[in-house]
Amino acid sequence: ATPTAVMVATGKGASLGVLIKGGNALEKAHKVNTVVFDKTGTLTVGKPEVVSAILFSRISMEEFCDTAIAVEGNSEHPIAKAVVKYAKNRSPNHKTQTTNGGPVTDFEVIPGAGVGCKVGRRTVLVGNKKLMRSFNVSVGPEVETYFSDNEKLARTCVLVAIDGKVAGAVAVTDPVKPEAARVVSFLRSMSIRSIMVTGDNWSTATAIAKEVGIENVFAETDPFGKADRIKDLQAKGMVVAMVGDGINDSPALVAADVGMAIGAGTDVAIEAADIVLIKSNLEDVITAIDLSKNTISRIH
C-alpha cells in the first residue's frame, strides 16, 4: 500500500479503537487465513471467580485461605486475584503476609503452571497438576474426581500443596466473552479458521472451545510452545494472526504474521503486538482484517 493509504487506514483504525503500529501489519492482515486465540482473557472475560473449594488434608479452611493469600498475593495472574478475593472472604481475620506463618520468601513463577514460595518454614505450591508433577507432589484419586467434575463445566482447578502434600483445591470459572462465538462463526464465513492455544488443561480448554465453536485446540502449552504452534501453522503455509492478552502470549504475538493484543491486556503483550484492540472486543479482529482489505484493494 502507498504511504498515504497506510496513513488513512491507520487514522481510520485509531478512530475505531484499532491501533495499527505499522504498514507491515496492514499489508499482511488481509491475507490471514488462520486466527489463533489465547483462551484466558482473550476468548474469556479474564475475570475469573472461585466457585468452590475443597480441603484434602487436615487443615482448617482459615489456614488454607491464609496460606493461599500469602502466596497468590504475590502473583499478577488473574487466577491469583480470584483466589485472593475468595480467600479473604473466607478468612476475614486473615493476617498479613509477614505475620501469617512467617514471611514469604523465594517466591517463584513457573510459567503455565503456577507459583511457589516459602511461607515461614513451609514450602507452598499453588497451581495446576503439571506444577504438582514437576515438584513430585502426588495427586490422589479424590483430587482427580474433583478436577474432572469441575473441568467438564469449563472450570479451571487450582491446587494448593504444603510441604509436598496437596492441602486443598479451588475451582475457578471465567465466562466466555459475549461476542466470542459470533466472531468465530463470522471468521468461518470469511473462510478463516479459528484455533485456540492455552496454558490451561485439555478438558477445560475443550469445554470453552466448544462454547465458542472452535474445533482446533492446543492446551497445556507454555509461552514458547504457543509460539511453536504458530510456526508449525506457518510452515504449513498458513498466514496466521495471533490474538492474546498475557505476558505468556508475547512470543506467539511476535511469531505470528499479525500479532493482535487485547487492549485490557498486559503491557508486554501490547508491546509485542502489531495491532492493539483498544476496546478489548473480539469483533475488532474482523475490523482490523477489513481495514487491511480496504487499504489493499484501493491501490490495485
Near ligand ADP in 211-250, by CB under 6 A: 246, 248
Smaller CB distance to Mg ion: residue 10 or 42? Answer: 42
| From the list Mg ion, ligand ADP, none, partner contacted by residue 79 (C-beta under 5 to 8 A by kind) | ligand ADP
Instruction: Indicate the helix (H) or strand (E) that contains 253.
Output: helix 250-255
Smaller CB distance to ligand ADP: residue 13 or 251? Answer: 251
| From the list Mg ion, ligand ADP, none, partner contacted by residue 198 (C-beta under 5 to 8 A by kind) | ligand ADP
Q: Are 83 and 203 in contact (CB under 8 A)?
A: no
Q: Are 223 and 112 in contact (CB under 8 A)?
A: yes
CA distances (Å), origin 146, targets 58, 155, 202: 17, 11, 15
SS3 for 262-278, per residue?
ECCCCHHHHHHCCEEEC
CA distances (Å), origin 70, targets 8, 86, 104, 117: 51, 13, 7, 9
Q: Is 38 in the site for ligand ADP (CB under 6 A)?
A: yes
Smaller CB distance to ligand ADP: residue 29 or 126? Answer: 126
Q: In what order do the strands lie in the sheet with 193-197?
A: 18-20, 275-277, 258-262, 240-244, 34-38, 193-197, 216-218
Listed in sequence order, the residues at least 6 apart from 29 whose beta carbon sits closer than 8 Å to its beta carbon are 241, 258, 275, 288, 289, 291, 292, 293
Which of the stretches 20-28, 33-41, 62-70, 133-141 binds ligand ADP when contact is defined by CB under 6 A?
Answer: 33-41
| From the list ligand ADP, Mg ion, none, partner contacted by residue 66 (C-beta under 5 to 8 A by kind) | none
CB of 40 to Mg ion, least distance (A): 4
Residues 166-205: x where in contact with ligand ADP by CB under 6 A, - otherwise, as a string: --------------------------------xxx-----
Q: Are 155 and 21 in contact (CB under 8 A)?
A: no
| From the list ligand ADP, Mg ion, none, partner contacted by residue 200 (C-beta under 5 to 8 A by kind) | ligand ADP
Residue nearest to ligand ADP (CB): 199
Q: Is 156 in the site for ligand ADP (CB under 6 A)?
A: yes
| From the list ligand ADP, Mg ion, none, partner contacted by residue 284 (C-beta under 5 to 8 A by kind) | none
Concerning whether 38 is annotated as a catalytic residue, the answer is yes
Angle ∠(257,258,261) on CA atoms, nearest 5 = 145
3-state class (DSSP) for residue 103 = coil
Q: How far apart are CA 123 and CA 104, in angstroms?
A: 10
CB of 82 to ligand ADP, least distance (A): 9
The catalytic position among 38, 245, 257, 274 is 38
Out of 87, 113, 132, 230, the only residue in the binding site for ligand ADP (CB under 6 A) is 113
Q: Are 151 and 207 in contact (CB under 8 A)?
A: yes
CB of 191 to ligand ADP, least distance (A): 27
Out of 25, 125, 126, 260, the only residue in the binding site for ligand ADP (CB under 6 A) is 126
Q: What is the dihedral of CA 178, 180, 186, 189, to 10 degrees?
A: -140
Residues annotated as catalytic (active site), given as ranges: 38
Sites of contact with ligand ADP (CB under 6 A)? 38-40, 72, 75, 77, 79-80, 112-115, 126-128, 156, 158, 198-200, 246, 248
